[in-house]
Amino acid sequence: MMPFIHQKQSVILLLLFAVTTFAKAQDTTITIQRRVYTTERIAGDAPKIDGSLTDPAWDIVPWTSDYTEFEPDVGTPPTQQTKMKITYDDKNLYVAFKCYESDKTKLEKRLGRRDDFPGDWVEFNVDSYNDDRTGFSFTASASGVKGDEFISENGNFDTSWNPIWYLATAEDDEGWTAEIRIPFSQLRFSAEQEQLWGIQSTRRYFANEERSTWQRLPANPPGWVSEFGELRGIKGIEPQKQLEIQPYILGQYDTFEAQPGNPFRDGDDLMANAGLDAKIGITNDLTLDLTVNPDFGQVDADPGAIALDGFEIFFQERRPFFVENKSVFDFRVGGGADNVFFPRRIGRTPQGFTTTNGSQGEFEDFPNNSTILGAAKFSGKTKDGWTIGVLESVTAKEFAEIELDTREEVTEPLGAIEELGTSRKELVEPLTNYFVGRVQKDFNDRNSFVGGIFTATHRNMEPEVSFLHTQAYTGGLDFRHNWRDRKYYVEGRGILSRVNGSPEAIATTQTNITHLFQRVDADHLEVDETRTDLTGMGGNFEIGRGRGKWQYNLGGNFRTPELELNDIGFLRQADQIRQFSSIRRFWNNSTSWYRQASVGVEQFTEFDFQGNYNRIQYEGRAEINWKNNWFTEIGGAHKPRILINSFLRGGPRWRFNEENFYFAAVGTDQRKKFSAVGVYVNSQAKQNNFSFIQYELRFNYQPLDALSLNLSTNYQVNPNRTQYVSQQAYAPAQFGTRYITGEIDQETLSATLRVNYNINPNLTIQYYAQPFIAKGTYSNFNYVTDSTNEDLNKRVAFYGDDQISAVDGGFAIDENRDGMTDYSFGNPDFNFVQFRSNLVARWEYIPGSELFLVWSQGIEGLGTSDESLFNAADSQILGQQIRNTFVIKWAYRFVL
């Protein structure tokens, strides 16, 4: 029997039960009446959207007011009151706001990018599905900047949603006003004769950093949309089938350093492109999004990162087509980034390789990404409570081009290579089809849902890419149930995966770092090189309380050894079982010395399917927002047991020494023209096994309403006495292999600069730049002797000076001191430098239609191990010719 409940975990569970019982006894539920606003149809002319609110159309509906403070003091009158009106006609919903301000000098009219929410603002949320889970959010800043978000899962706000709507703001003697027109084509609702919608409005009063809401909310509500008030009176409107087509044309010019003899690097490149995006309302509930040859040129570059653990680095999806409405397809596997669907697999960097022989004067042009020929996304929610999402995409065959050195004096003697031809193409990614289907059904008065997901990846296989899976399938079921006014919840998910392919492909999967079936001490795993498929399972279960001043949870998740998601999903590691629990206490009403505060503790343990008890961790954190609106966060963790199956890349389980970790963060008032945040992280392991120290400083400066500058700097020091280096065959060693580690002195320095200049809310100039430098220098090489020993000096043995010697490009080992090299390994030192920047001028000349001017720069380089971080930056960024990309893109959205 696996030791799933350890003595320490039992103590935690008993403590959690005791605190839960106390919290239940102490907590009381306040019943809040749901507000109702009844609107009327406009009889005459529609109001002109100019912010003045003087049109006769507004006279037919009353003002509603009595907003109540939500932050920092729940349930109290706000410092400044707000009024709202709502009316409609056949095609549009109209909303007016009157935001009172007794001291006009306190009105903050900062400009920003769309969805920045700068300065004073007021927000209108509408749950036109009336499902208590999804909604549409429209935010108007006092300066006229728009913000719009799609709300899912009763509180997840997605800023990638960019509907067409109209806004104007103005000042008057009593404060400021906002006037909004929302076309019904941008909303989703039923065909009922009389509509019943949920609504909410929130105002940010910048001077006091205060939030007030039209529908009063309890402290720490169980969700957002489920707590809305009601909008009644909309009658006789017809669902609007949305039809929008947005073609684009693009011109691009690249300059870069010419490489002598390389036909693909002659110094510049010129190209043109065109594509199309479309949004088609199949019904008012369900929308079909199409993209043909999409362009993602305005997406920020991924931040720099170095991973020494061998795992793939997770980067967020940023491409608009895949980000919009992404919550419909979300299906997480436990905690972290693991997900059944990870859209960055679509259009990924080709996974193949070529036979390019650089020593024989060959050069290659390897594609950066697989071309997305087209993609379609069908999604929405019906009046019966069905959430539906279907995504289909096809990526093209990708070839790398290979040509000989163009310099005559070099290519003449290469007769043997010329038999292959002076140029050729080699397949590096096959034609691939991706499919995702997702469905959820609400029931039990929208307090519960059940759902499912299915994904499929099909590749048109050819011999050159036989190491890839031919097919990959995943199916899953999920559910959530809330009760006691959504105070308590229980949820769970289960998934089943199957991949098919050649014996080569399946063997590759079995031995990659996600699975490591070749682990020498894993009795429950073995590599079978004859298999042509793998089938795995995963899931999670959680129960807890998600509302009130006490919140807690208890649960677990698992991934069987054969679970494989990485064809269209993201899975870091299989063969894992985790138990977790947490509890958190909130103080919501301000006192004489703080505005809000919270404190929480959590714990988790990990096992594998052999029953190995690999990890336990205890963590606590506290957060406080002080009366002057500064904030402080502190926390720490104790990790008495850390064993890692993957550290030795197929070798035995590896133990790290007991670790203690703590952090502290302090931030000034973020409303000020100048604000700053400082973060300090310190982690130390016993016997000085490893440590991690991080210093982070973030500055924000807004000297003008139209100009903001943000600089974030991060410096990390991460020394480790036993960093994995290599493994080499050596018969006398246990398992016939020497697992080699070394002492690393690792430093990382990065900075991110963002500058935003807003000529007006629709014409902005944005600049982004990030230098990244990572350096690692190795010394004191050693080899593993007893990988799970608690004493580091018994875990490894250090090479003597007479056993290790430097050779060209690495080190030679004479372990038995017989004067002969027993094995060798390369020099693992690195000094990586990267720079990325992006300057974008964006003009939304009419709602939904845009003109972009873009200037991007980028460079990567490798400094020498004896260069400092700053010297490496100087030689590899400032001392090299940088790559420049100039783009002009025009897009026009036809609304039909």
- Residue 29 is predicted with a pLDDT of 53
Instruction: Give the closest residue to 188 by CA, choosing from 5, 347, 381.
Output: 381
Whether residues 226 and 318 share a domain: the answer is: no
If you search the block for the tokens 């919290």, which residue do you land on? 23
Most confident region among 196-200, 248-252, 376-380 by mean pLDDT: 196-200
| Token representation of residue 601 | 């503790």
- Residue 409 is predicted with a pLDDT of 54
Whether residues 213 and 319 share a domain: the answer is: no
Q: What is the 3-state secondary structure (H, E, C) of 170-201?
A: EEECCEEEEEEEEEHHHCCCCCCCECCEEEEE
From 555, 573, 604, give the residue that closes a domain.
555
Whether residues 228 and 325 share a domain: the answer is: no
Between 8 and 292, whose confidence is greater?
292
- Over 80: is that where the pLDDT of 90 sits? yes
What confidence tier does 419 reach under pLDDT thresholds 50, 70, 90? Answer: very low
CA 696 to chain centre: 20
Kind and range of the H or E element at 721?
strand 720-729
Whether residues 653 and 785 share a domain: the answer is: yes
| Residue 631 within any structural domain of the chain | no
Express each pLDDT in 550-564 by its tens digit: 999 999 999 999 999
- Residue 300 is predicted with a pLDDT of 59
| Residue 241 within any structural domain of the chain | no
From 232, 263, 284, give the residue that closes a domain.
232
| Residue 455 within any structural domain of the chain | yes
- Over 60: is that where the pLDDT of 331 sits? yes
- Residue 301 is predicted with a pLDDT of 65
| Residue 127 within any structural domain of the chain | yes
| Residue 570 within any structural domain of the chain | no
CA atoms within 13 A of residue 77's CA, in its CB half-sphere? 5
What confidence tier does 185 reach under pLDDT thresholds 50, 70, 90? Answer: confident
Domain count across the chain: 3
Which residue type occupies 481? H
| Residue 590 within any structural domain of the chain | no
Average pLDDT score, the chain: 90
Between 358 and 252, whose confidence is greater?
252
Mean pLDDT lowest among 105-119, 134-148, 779-793, 864-878:
864-878
Whether residues 788 and 879 share a domain: the answer is: yes
- Average pLDDT over every residue of 329-345: 89
Whether residues 852 and 704 share a domain: the answer is: yes
Express each pLDDT in 764-786 by its tens digit: 999 999 999 999 999 999 999 99
CATH number at residue 98: 2.60.40.1190
Whether residues 735 and 826 share a domain: the answer is: yes
- E strands, 608-718, where? 613-626, 631-644, 654-656, 659-667, 674-685, 691-704, 707-717
> Percent of the chain, pLDDT > 90?
71
Is the sign of the CA dihedral 848, 851, 853, 856 positive or negative? positive
Mean pLDDT lowest among 157-171, 314-328, 336-350:
314-328
- Residue 416 is predicted with a pLDDT of 42
Whether residues 850 and 709 share a domain: the answer is: yes
Express each pLDDT in 682-699 by its tens digit: 999 999 999 999 999 999
Whether residues 321 and 227 share a domain: the answer is: no
Q: Which residue range is the domain that position 170 belongs to?
A: 31-232
- Average pLDDT over every residue of 840-845: 92
d(CA 890, CA 272): 12
| Residue 256 within any structural domain of the chain | no
Whether residues 81 and 214 share a domain: the answer is: yes
Whether residues 718 and 840 share a domain: the answer is: yes
Between 322 and 863, whose confidence is greater?
322
Whether residues 43 and 165 share a domain: the answer is: yes
From 232, 255, 280, give the residue that closes a domain.
232
- Residue 413 is predicted with a pLDDT of 46
| Residue 597 within any structural domain of the chain | no
- Over 90: is that where the pLDDT of 336 sits? no
